Structure 1
Amino acid sequence: MGENNFAESLKVALSANLGWGFELYDLIVYLYAAPYIADLFFPKGNYIASLLNALLIMVLGYFARPLGAIIWGHVGDRIGRKVTWFIVLVGMGLATVLIGFLPTYAQIGLLATLLLVILRMLQGIFLGGEWAGGLTMTTEFAPNNMRGLLGGVAQGGAGLASVWAAAALALASALAPSKEAMIAYGWRILFWFGVIPLAIALFVRWSIGESSVWLTKGKPSVEKIPFLALVRKYWFFIIVATVVVFGESLIYYGSIGYFGTLLPLLGYSREALVLASLAAGLAWVFLGPLFGYLSDKAGRRRTMLAIYYAIAALTLYPIWSLIASGSMEALVLGAALIGAIFSSQYSLLPAWLAETIETKVRYSGIGLILNLGVAFSSFAPYISTFLLNSIGKTYGTLVAISLVTIVGAIVAMVFVLLSKDRCCQELL
């Protein structure tokens, strides 16, 4: 909106970037910790079986996210963006740090597994409000012709999450250099490290004001139950956009978000995992705003999204061939290319969603679409691990790790073309 200057808009986008970086960091480190905690919380006598159970618990957390989106979307649309956005960040932070203090199955039996499930679901509930709040605030503060750019800045937080995760893994590796040490205590460091990005995100967010768009367009016409109003008016767009996010997220959770589980299965070391995460994360952080800016200039977000998904479908198999080659140089290059490909799509989503959904139900709408789509895509690591274990090595490995991501790109490309484009227009 014109009344919000660029400096304030950028501050909000950076706050969303930091918050989203912290939130997604928590989810990535769970995948990084999964190979070490699998036997600690899901003793089966078979490593792959334990790992699959650990990945299914991740799925439960993701299916709590749509519930969180409905709860916090209701609060955000009725009471305001600022207070809701702050509460969900604190809640997510507490749930994450507490995982690092959990006793294991050997210490308290089934209760350990139950506590892990509860904390993962709490993470999902709070995350359902955090991500939606960040993108809602960013797009409402942004000038009409800069929503793509600033949305790219905000979404770059997901790339920042990979950088945070790489730093945490490097620290844990230094303090727990052996696999035995990682199983004994090193995995806890991954969760405790989250205090650092959480503190930074809270510090920046404290000074953010309320959205003037919500104050002028949302607050005067608050819906009694925003979720019901949203579904009545936007049911078709909800279906289309949710499938797009589902396809998009299959790419992420079958690639960057899966590195922590995949790369050890392919024989890569922890050092290689750190380098791959850094390469993907840095490419994402720096290129996301550029892709968002290009959509502002082109004035065609729907078309550009479809093009980016088509490029992903054509290039993912060659990139996975690089990663599966076993070469450290090829791994880093492949990870950076995946970071670039994913950021091209991801950076356009905030503006594309916000420009379609009106202010009085925007928080609820963005939250429901994003978190419902991601919930179904969270099966990607489980499916990929199962395929890897079932199909085997060499050619089968490439098929297994390529299939999920390519299918995601094709699904997203087809469904995004069913939407309308209100690029750079005044928010409803």
Structure 2
Amino acid sequence: MAQTELNDAIKVAISANLGWGFELYDLIAYIYAAPYIATQFFPKTDYVASLLETLLLLVLGYFARPLGAILWGHIGDKMGRKITWFVVLLGMGLVTVAIGFLPTYAQIGVAAAALLVLFRILQGIFLGGEWAGGLTITAEFAPPNMRGLLGGVAQGGAGLASVFAAAAVALATVFAPTKDAMMAYGWRILFWFGAVPLAIALFVRWKIRESEIWLKKGKPAVERIPFLALLRRYWLFVIIATLVIFGESLIYYGSIGYFGTLLPLLGYGREGVILASLSAGLTWMLLGPLFGHLSDRLGKRKSILATYYAIAALTLYPIWILIAGGQLANLVIGAALMGMVFSSQYSVLPAWLAETIETKVRFSGIGFILNLGVAFSSFAPYISTYLLKSIGQTYGTVTAISLVTIIGALIALVFVLLSRDRCCQELL
């Protein structure tokens, strides 16, 4: 591969990293702001009841994502990767920042909750194309023997999201140092801060070129309705891969993505949330490419994913015990271990998906699989919060939370073993 092509592949992976980081930042910002949104938009005498309604709204936004995936996948497979990928990032970013300007229940009554619902649905529709577009175009630019490595770079954006979130919480802490200040305006800072990663991601993304593989294999053979063609040819893989992503995402949304709501319920303050997010995020960013590269070197995706899921199932409970101990040092170590466990799995997924689905329906396929699996797993914060309220006590709490994540790891393990492995072969 020429140096110019390799440079382009790296640039695309970095752009995917930034876009995915911003997308996931939106989720983390919402969960971090959930304790304040709960009382501002869904006021009730019982705080946990308000919080549960807020987390259910998170689910609603995520069930808009498969619809967005079908829409943007259709456009991406028929009109090209670059323009689709740019538009979804811009739309997603504008809606995220706009949430920070919404009036509250005290100002306009029930209309405030209705607007929040509308904005979450719009976010879900745009989000349906962002992550899928990034993984699709990264795999299409990457050399066959570097798909795992560059996929790990792209997926490292999830770790970057935790770093962005830590920075946003720190900024909110400076400008809204008290609980009353956070309730009044501080939570809005978490959404306004999204303008920073958005601007960086848009700048990088504008400079990339169109996918050569799509120009050669997708554009000349474009399907009338790519999504229907996907279901005809890949229905079994769609089912298997969606269940893998469901299990995978149960781990994330029941752990790292849930830190902002979970850690205060375990007795940690904002300092603990910031440190845990930084620890998990930086570990993820640094180790993700390494785990992806390992799958390139071994020439295996399926078996290495299965190994990673087995390790997760065995280690998640002890890690939760460490985190629940109440000591900041243990929290930082536990969060880093969580980041390590999760980055190992996420890093291999882009290549595993892209190598199985052919070019002319790849955007639609990756988008639908990812977003449908994630939609069902978005119940994890709600379920964990409900279990926290129902069970109580530190170790009962840990058992409840770890149960959600361990079940996720086992589901992913079982179904990834049913898949094919086309590691490092030419893209179809």
Quote the offset at 1:5 in angstroms: 2.1
For each residue in 1:75-106, what CA deviation from the matched residue of structure 2 results, as whole angstroms up to 9, or x when unmatched?
A: 00000000000000000001001100000001
Distance 2:284 2:92 in 1: 23
* Corresponding residue of 1:182: 182
RMSD: 0.9
Quote the offset at 1:394 in angstroms: 2.5
Matched, 1:134 2:134: yes
For each residue in 1:238-293, what CA deviation from the matched residue of structure 2 results, as whole angstroms up to 9, or x when unmatched?
A: 00000000000000000000000000101100011000000000000010000000
Distance 1:288 1:243 in 2: 22
For each residue in 1:84-137, what CA deviation from the matched residue of structure 2 results, as whole angstroms up to 9, or x when unmatched?
A: 000000000010011000000011011100000111111111010000000000
Quote the offset at 1:2 in angstroms: 7.6
Paired residue secondary structure (2:249): helix
Distance 1:218 1:141 in 2: 14
CA pair 4-77 structure 1, distance change in 2 beyond 3 A:
farther
Letter in 1 for 2:156: G
Paired residue secondary structure (1:43): coil
For each residue in 1:313-352, what CA deviation from the matched residue of structure 2 results, as whole angstroms up to 9, or x when unmatched?
A: 0000000000000010000000000000000000000000
Query: Contact between 1:4 and 1:143, CA under 8 Å: does it hold in 2?
Result: no
* Corresponding residue of 1:198: 198
CA pair 3-366 structure 1, distance change in 2 beyond 3 A:
farther
Paired residue secondary structure (1:5): helix
Matched, 1:305 2:341: no
Percent pairwise identity: 76
Matched, 1:146 2:146: yes
* Corresponding residue of 2:415: 415
Query: Contact between 1:4 and 1:142, CA under 8 Å: does it hold in 2?
Result: no
The list of structure 1 runs, each at least 4 consecutive aligned residues, that deviate by more than 3 angstroms after superposition, is 1-4
For each residue in 1:185-238, what CA deviation from the matched residue of structure 2 results, as whole angstroms up to 9, or x when unmatched?
A: 000000000000000000000110000000000000000000000000000000
Matched, 1:161 2:141: no
Letter in 1 for 2:384: S
* Corresponding residue of 2:350: 350
* Corresponding residue of 2:390: 390
Quote the offset at 1:3 in angstroms: 9.7
Distance 1:4 1:293 in 2: 21
Paired residue secondary structure (1:132): helix
Distance 2:330 2:422 in 1: 40
- How do 1:16-415 and structure 2 match up within 5 A? 16-415=16-415
Query: Contact between 2:156 and 2:284, CA under 8 Å: does it hold in 1?
Result: yes
Q: How many residues align?
A: 428
Distance 1:225 1:4 in 2: 34
Distance 1:45 1:224 in 2: 53
Distance 2:98 2:323 in 1: 34
Query: Contact between 2:321 and 2:395, CA under 8 Å: does it hold in 1?
Result: no
Distance 2:394 2:40 in 1: 31
Q: Unaligned regions of 5+ residues in structure 1, if any?
A: none
Paired residue secondary structure (2:9): helix
**TM-score, normalised with respect to structure 2:** 0.99
Paired residue secondary structure (2:356): coil
CA pair 2-406 structure 1, distance change in 2 beyond 3 A:
farther
Matched, 1:9 2:9: yes
Query: Contact between 2:380 and 2:404, CA under 8 Å: does it hold in 1?
Result: yes
Distance 2:322 2:238 in 1: 36
For each residue in 1:142-172, what CA deviation from the matched residue of structure 2 results, as whole angstroms up to 9, or x when unmatched?
A: 0010000000000000100000000000000
Query: Contact between 2:251 and 2:406, CA under 8 Å: does it hold in 1?
Result: yes
Query: Contact between 1:31 and 1:261, CA under 8 Å: does it hold in 2?
Result: yes
Letter in 1 for 2:147: R
Query: Contact between 1:62 and 1:375, CA under 8 Å: does it hold in 2?
Result: yes
Letter in 2 for 1:159: G
Quote the offset at 1:401 in angstroms: 1.1
